[in-house]
Amino acid sequence: MTYPPLSVIAALLLGAATVFGFAPFEWPALPILTLGALFALWQHAHSPRRAAWIGFAFGIGLFGAGVSWVYVALSTFGDMPAVLAAIGTAGFCAYLALFPAAAGALCARLAPQGSPARLALAATLWTLAEWLRGWLLSGFGWLAAGYAQTGHALEGFAPLGGVFLVTLAMAAIAALLVLALQSLERRAWFDAVFAVAAIAVVFVAGVASSTLEWSRAAGEPVAVSLVQGNIEQAQKFDPAYRDKTLLTYAELARAAKGRLIVLPESALPMFADEVTAEYVTILREAALRNGGDLMLGLFFFEPRAGPDEDDRYFNSVVSVGSATAQRYSKHHLVPFGETIPGKAVFGWFIRRVLAIPLADQTPGPDYQEPFAVAGERVAVNICYEDAFGGELARRAVEATMFVNVTNDAWYGRSLAAEQHEQIAMMRALETSRPMLRATNTGITSIIDHRGREIARLPWFTRGILEGRIAGRSGATPYVRFGDALVVAIALAIAAVAVFLARLRRGA
């Protein structure tokens, strides 16, 4: 019987340990150390195939431990048979693990074993693999290493180049740590001192950048009320429970004190044309009483326009109150949960094995105007849309704050909600805009423009988070350039590393 090499087993354990660097554990140095250990394993890999297996094992550990909560949505609330849900979750984690596998294989192919060039490639290719994972095939940038630095030393790079620039800084430190240890082992004192000095420069640059102020207050703080209805996911879309849901949100809206009241994603689990005029009046009066506006999530239905077209369903947020009614429809849909890739091939299977309501939605327009409500310009994003930094950066230009409405009840009491909160904090930091989060079961929170959570409601409780927050104006470098800066830097370093590796081979 052939057993996996120890390097592959070590990589698997390192990947799983990396999860403790993210929320809710938040050991920010841990991902740097585990990346350093991964890069050391790549340094000793004698072939691209071995390096790929090491990267794949690391990815299986990371995503198997970190995002296996997908199983809860598929099995517990999607009614998928347990075996199929387990296979689907394993397949999803395996797909995500292909990205570190590809990074490892390229490192070993492009640079000699044990060389500084391979370390430089490890740092840059890891970063580029994370960036690619964040947009390829709709993208899933969850657990990008940079998120672990939210609230910590290297977060200052986020307004400059987003979460992936933070990742690059972490990966660079990890590679330099390996270089320092290798240099000490060889008694190459100058190389060791250089590596340690470079680590210090990266840390100082991150800390110094975090002291910069990229935006300014756009007016006086506005009073906000963020509503957490805590409707059980098993009952949320049950027609028999609908009246109780409507009553719950009507009572919470009446009790809210903010000029801006926000209800969560699909707070009303129904189509807009099913909401009675009387109920809309209740919500509007709640907003008018506070001299402002109320935002809430619900669905819109548009019948097919012709015999060759399908009915259209939109996951939307609308406003009622002092301002003209406005609407935002979710643009970046969840594959297999809100949209069906390759519907002609997979549609019948998804509809048969998954009991997810409205699993075949229509995306809203790529660009939608911010809401003009409560004296602010509010850029809306729904659920995991806030995982896409480049998309939110483009929306930040004309906005003074973000509002995210979410229903993370799909994932039960897993790590998903805390990880999602950390992602939202990174978006606020990148754009220097406050982020208001109204969720069904948690985490409902107020995040300031520096990515600091200043208030939250307890998880799985019903209530209203009251607070005051000022909108902001001004643009960070990340808002102006998006991910282009970090991609350019990573590619440039990788190109130099490959050039030097070829020179060494030709010498």
Whether 236 sits among the annotated catalytic residues: the reply is no
Name the helix (H) or strand (E) containing 436.
strand 435-439
Active-site annotation holder among 155, 265, 385, 421: 265
3-state DSSP of 278-303: HHHHHHHHHHHHCCCEEEEEEEEEEC
Active-site annotation holder among 330, 338, 430, 453: 330
- What angle, rounded to 10 degrees, do the helices at 484-506 and 116-133 form? 150
Give the E-state strand segments of 322-375 in sequence order. 327-329, 371-373
What strand order describes the sheet that includes 260-262?
A: 327-329, 312-321, 293-302, 260-262, 222-228, 463-469
Token pair of 215 as six digits: 């935006």
Cα distance from N-terminal residue to C-terminal residue, the chain = 42
Name the helix (H) or strand (E) containing 31.
helix 30-44
The Cα–Cα gap between 128 and 52 comes to 16
Backbone dihedral region for residue 432 (phi beyond 0: left; psi -120 to 50: alpha; all else: beta): left
Active-site annotation holder among 130, 376, 383, 430: 383
Identity at 78, one-letter amino acid code: G
The Cα–Cα gap between 473 and 494 comes to 36
The Cα–Cα gap between 14 and 55 comes to 11
Whether 93 sits among the annotated catalytic residues: the reply is no
Name the helix (H) or strand (E) containing 176.
helix 158-186
Whether 330 sits among the annotated catalytic residues: the reply is yes
3-state DSSP of 393-435: HHHHCCCCEEEEEECHHHHCCCCHHHHHHHHHHHHHHHHCCCE
- Active-site residue numbers? 265, 330, 383
